[in-house]
Amino acid sequence: MSETPPNTLQYRFDGPEDAPVLILGPSLGTTWHMWDRQVPELTRQWRVFRFDLPGHGGAPAHPADSVAELAERLLATLEGLGVQRFGYAGCALGGAVGIELALRHPERLASLALIAASPRFGSADEFRRRGVIVRTNGLDPMARSAPERWFTGGFAAAQPAITEWAVQMVRTTDPGCYIAACEALASFDVRAGLGSVGVPTLVLVGSEDQVTGPAEARNLVAGIPDARLAVVPGASHLVPVEQPAAVTDLLVRHFSTAWQPAYDSSTGQVALPTGAVARPTSAPVPAA
C-alpha cells in the first residue's frame, strides 16, 4: 500500500474497474473488514471502495476532529482517483459521513444508505466521557465492552471468534484518533438539515440496536424527503456483521433501483453514472 497523505484516507477497491463506484464507510472502532461479507455480492454490480478511519486498521494516525473533515478527506481521496460520482453506504460514524456528503456535496452522491445512524448520536457529554476514559485508561475498556455494544448476546455467545475479532479491532486503534472521532460525534448534529438531503436514502437498523436504535432511524426517515426504513430482526448495532445476508440483500435492492442519475448542465439531460477509470493502490487481502 502506498503512503497515505494526511488529507486523505487509507482505502481499497474491489470489483470491476468500469463499474459504478459504491463506497462503504465503517463504524468507529472498526476497519474496512466489517464489510467483508457484503463485498462478494456487491462487486457483481459495483466497484466497491472501502476506507479506514484515521488510526484504524493500521491507517496513519492523522486525527480528524469533525465529521465534516472526514467527509472532506474522503472526497480528497476520491479526487485523486478520478471518482466523481458514487453511491454511499455507511454504518454509524460512517453513516454520519454519508449525511455530510449529501448535505455538502449533493452533486457527487447518486444514492445513500444509512446503517445504525442518527442525526444526533446520543449526547455530546456521552462521547466526551468516552474520550476521557480512553485518555485515562487507554482503549482496553472500550475494546472489552465493544461486543456488548455491537452484538446481541446470543450472537456474541455463538460467535466467539467474531467477538474476539471485534475486541482486537478496537484494541489496535490509535487512541488519539479514537478520541478525535468521539469529539467528531459529540459535535455532530444535522437534525435541522435533513430536509436538504436530496438523494434516495435507505435507513437500515437492527431491531435490537441499543446504541442508535429504531427510534433514531425513524427520525432520519421522518426528516429526509426520499427515505425508506428497513428494520433487520435479531440484530444489534453492527448489523452488517451480525446479519450479513439481510444487509447485503437490502443494499443490493436499494442501490439497484434508487441510483439517481447525474444532471448534465451543459445538455440539460441526465447521464448514467460511471465508475472510476483510475487504477487503485494495492491493498492487503482481507482475512477469511
Asked if residue 34 is part of any domain, the answer here is yes
Asked if residue 288 is part of any domain, the answer here is no
Grid coordinates representing 79 are: 479526487
Asked if residue 184 is part of any domain, the answer here is no
Asked if 60 contacts 54 with a C-beta cutoff of 8 angstroms, the reply is yes
Asked if residue 44 is part of any domain, the answer here is yes
Look at the chain and report how many structural domains it folds into: 1
CATH label of the domain that carries residue 242: 3.40.50.1820
Question: pLDDT-based confidence at 154, cuts 50/70/90?
Answer: very high
Which pLDDT tens digit goes with each residue over 192-238? 999 999 999 999 999 999 999 999 999 999 999 999 999 999 999 99
Tell me how far apart the alpha carbons of residues 94 and 80 are, in angstroms, rounded to a whole number. Answer: 20
* Closest residue by Cα to residue 279 from 95, 56, 49, 27: 49
Which pLDDT tens digit goes with each residue over 25-55? 999 999 999 999 999 999 999 999 999 999 9
Q: Widest CA span of the chain, in angstroms?
A: 59
Can you list the alpha helix ranges (DSSP code H) found in 120-201? 124-137, 140-150, 153-158, 160-171, 175-186
Asked if residue 167 is part of any domain, the answer here is no
Asked if residue 173 is part of any domain, the answer here is no
Say yes or no to pLDDT of 270 above 90.
no
Asked if residue 150 is part of any domain, the answer here is no
Tell me how far apart the alpha carbons of residues 173 and 44 are, in angstroms, rounded to a whole number. Answer: 31
Mean pLDDT for the chain overall: 91
* Closest residue by Cα to residue 118 from 88, 98, 104: 98
Kindly report the pTM of this predicted structure. 0.90
Residue-number span of the structural domain to which 111 is assigned: 11-119+190-271
Asked if 175 contacts 168 with a C-beta cutoff of 8 angstroms, the reply is no
Say yes or no to pLDDT of 287 above 80.
no
Asked if residue 139 is part of any domain, the answer here is no
- 53 or 3: which carries more pLDDT confidence? 53
Element at 205 (helix H, strand E): strand 201-206
